[in-house]
Amino acid sequence: MKIRTLKYISLTSLFFSLLTLFANAQAGDNVPVVSDVKYTPYRSSIAFKVGTRTIPVTILQYGQPNGIVCINVHDNETASVEGAKAVLELTGGTLIKIENNKQRVVKFRLNGVTYGFDPNRIYSRIGIGQTLRDNRKYSKAAMEEIEKFAQSVLSLIPDTASCVVALHNNTDEAFSIRSYMVGGNRQRDARAVYANPLEDIDDIILTTDSLLYQQMADAGYNSIWQDNERAKRDGSLSIYYGERSRRYINIETQHGKVEQYRVMFEKLLLILTNETKKSPEKTEDSE
């Protein structure tokens, strides 16, 4: 929940301000959230070479590192980044972003041949081989180039990160909560699923962590708890972190739904912040 501060304002002014906001809301206008930006990000960029291609990776640091590390691997999924930035300006955190000219598939040339790969399928050799074949060209040399790039990206995420948050958007009904329900093509990948009939099926969270799954489901969001043992080894970040018992969550909305993304992301950060505040000191009875 955002903290809204109103200073030195008369009751009359407050009344008319609220009246104006209500009128705009009734008219269907997008009413901006009243809040003060707390953190202006420090921006840095690192360039990685893949074949003859140079791929920049941008790092935005909002305040001091606080254990929350966000990553955007698909450069065409812009609503997720916009929604997350609006929250990070208030809460702080780290955002890592692969720059790829607003495209999903990364293309590069090596030894005169053009290859392509999905940057969320490169965190295992099995995944790299599959994404190369999906993009119609494969070679051992190309696999090795991509593997080096994947390791470079992973090296930007510190081991001290308490939660890795993947920022994604999807296409209407192409990938949704139904994908993980009985009969869905990803049914096997889910250990538990919560579907809210009042929510858009495309607005979902997927996590490696049972507690985050339960808390986001309790908040009313379509939620998937990944089966970290049985889920398909496809080279994605969720599998990479699931295999390592690391806390990871993917938040997705349809393309263009910036406000919905902001709300879901804000709820997640509120949960993580409250966990930190409530974390008890160890006692003699603690495990």
- Which domains does the chain show, CATH number per domain? 39-275 (3.40.630)
pLDDT for res 29: 40
Q: How far apart are CA 200 and CA 204, in angstroms?
A: 8
What is the mean predicted confidence (pLDDT) over 221-226?
Answer: 98
pLDDT for res 280: 55
| pLDDT, averaged across the chain | 88
pLDDT for res 279: 64
Higher pLDDT, 33 or 124: 124
For residue 89 the two structure tokens come to 């300006």
pLDDT grade, residue 277 (50/70/90)? Answer: confident
pLDDT for res 31: 38
Partnered with residue 148 across adjacent β-strands are: none
Percentage of the chain lying above the pLDDT 90 cut: 80
Q: What pLDDT, in 10s, does the model give residues 66-121? A: 999 999 999 999 999 999 999 999 999 999 999 999 999 999 999 999 999 999 99
Backbone angles phi, psi at 69, to 5 degrees: -120, 115
Residue 54's H or E segment, with its range, is strand 53-62
Residue 6 has pLDDT above 80, yes or no: no
Backbone angles phi, psi at 47, to 5 degrees: -105, 130
Q: How far apart are CA 197 and CA 191, in angstroms?
A: 20
Residue 285 has pLDDT above 70, yes or no: no
> Which stretches within the chain are classed as H helix?
11-26, 78-91, 125-134, 140-155, 210-218, 237-243, 258-278
Q: What pLDDT, in 10s, does the model give residues 236-266? A: 999 999 999 999 999 999 999 999 999 999 9
pLDDT for res 276: 77
Q: How many CB atoms lie within 10 A of CB 89?
A: 18
First to last CA, the chain: 32
Q: What pLDDT, in 10s, does the model give residues 23-60? A: 443 333 443 444 578 999 999 999 999 999 999 999 99
Nearest CA-CA partner of 44 in 32, 56, 22, 60: 60
Q: Which amino acid is at 184?
A: G
Q: How far apart are CA 77 and CA 20, in angstroms?
A: 34
pLDDT for res 191: 98
Q: How far apart are CA 106 and CA 100, in angstroms?
A: 7
